[in-house]
């Protein structure tokens, strides 16, 4: 039986077996034929596409696959984060150089993001060489502490301490002014007494004609 070199046998969906002139079987992929997928393979491919789509959506929109409760929590955390950062920014803006950098406490949301839920800004009062400077410093601290629209309990405490500092400085200033006025009055009285004594001495030296 003679088999030509171009003869071939169909062995399935995707492959044929051509025979060469030495009648040796050579398996090659038949690129001209497209194998039809089974129903199971179609289902598996559809599942893979869905999983890939979910991963893509999760990266582009992390909250899309969260539950309703988780999405509500994320919204609350976002609002709190905005509130906290605005609160601390108000302290810094009104600090006049007395405030330092803000530090925050974070909470991780169900979306994997970190949200600021608390914060603080340090306030350092400058040294004062006069009561006037101490009063100005105290007023600056009060302004920084009460700058946010809704001051916290700690903000009120800081402002209260600064007011006490202001009151003491004002009392010291009043005392100094009183002492200054008293000193001026004392000097004036002393000068008047000295002038009076001089006039009396001059009068005693006048010769009265007989």
Q: Which of 122, 1, 25, 115 is nearest to 62 (CA)?
A: 115
Query: What pLDDT score does 179 carry?
Result: 87
Q: Are 142 and 163 in contact (CB under 8 A)?
A: yes
Considering the chain, what is the average pLDDT of its residues?
76
User: pLDDT class for 9, splitting at 50, 70, 90?
Assistant: very low
What span, in angstroms and rounded, lies between the C-alpha atoms of 199 and 23?
155
Q: Are 104 and 80 in contact (CB under 8 A)?
A: no
Q: Which helix (H) or strand (E) holds 193?
A: helix 153-204
Q: Which of 76, 203, 94 is nearest to 159 (CA)?
A: 94
Angle, vertex CA 87, rays to CA 91 and CA 133, nearest 5: 15
Q: Which of 21, 27, 22 is nearest to 9 (CA)?
A: 27
**Which of the pair, 152 or 187, is modelled with greater confidence?**
152
**Longest CA span, the chain:** 187
User: pLDDT class for 189, splitting at 50, 70, 90?
Assistant: low
Which DSSP state fits 205? T
Query: What pLDDT score does 8 carry?
Result: 44
Domain ranges of the chain: 13-60, 63-124, 125-210
Per-residue pLDDT tens for 31-66? 555 556 666 776 677 777 776 666 665 555 655 688
Percent of the chain with pLDDT over 70: 61
Which DSSP state fits 196? H
Three-state secondary-structure class, residue 30:
coil
Angle, vertex CA 102, rays to CA 100 and CA 104, nearest 5: 155
Per-residue pLDDT tens for 153-173? 999 999 999 999 999 999 999
């Amino acid at each position: 039986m003679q088999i030509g070199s171009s003869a071939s046998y169909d062995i399935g969906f995707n492959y044929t077996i051509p025979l060469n002139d030495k009648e040796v079987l050579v398996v090659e992929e038949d690129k001209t034929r497209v194998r039809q997928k089974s129903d199971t393979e179609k289902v598996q491919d559809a599942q893979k596409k869905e999983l890939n789509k979910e991963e893509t959506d999760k990266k582009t929109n992390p909250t899309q696959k969260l539950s309703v409760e988780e999405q509500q929590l994320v919204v609350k955390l976002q609002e709190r984060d905005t509130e906290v950062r605005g609160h601390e920014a108000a302290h810094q803006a009104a600090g006049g150089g007395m405030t330092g950098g803000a530090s925050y406490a974070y909470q991780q949301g169900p979306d994997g993001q970190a949200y600021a839920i608390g914060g603080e800004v340090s306030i350092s009062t400058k040294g004062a060489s006069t009561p006037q400077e101490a009063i100005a410093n105290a007023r600056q601290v009060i302004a920084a502490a009460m700058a946010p629209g809704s001051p916290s309990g700690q903000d009120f405490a800081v402002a209260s301490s600064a007011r006490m500092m202001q009151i003491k400085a004002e009392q010291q200033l009043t005392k100094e002014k009183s002492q200054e006025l008293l000193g001026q009055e004392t000097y004036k009285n002393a000068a008047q007494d000295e002038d009076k004594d001089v006039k009396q001495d001059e009068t005693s030296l006048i010769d009265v004609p007989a």
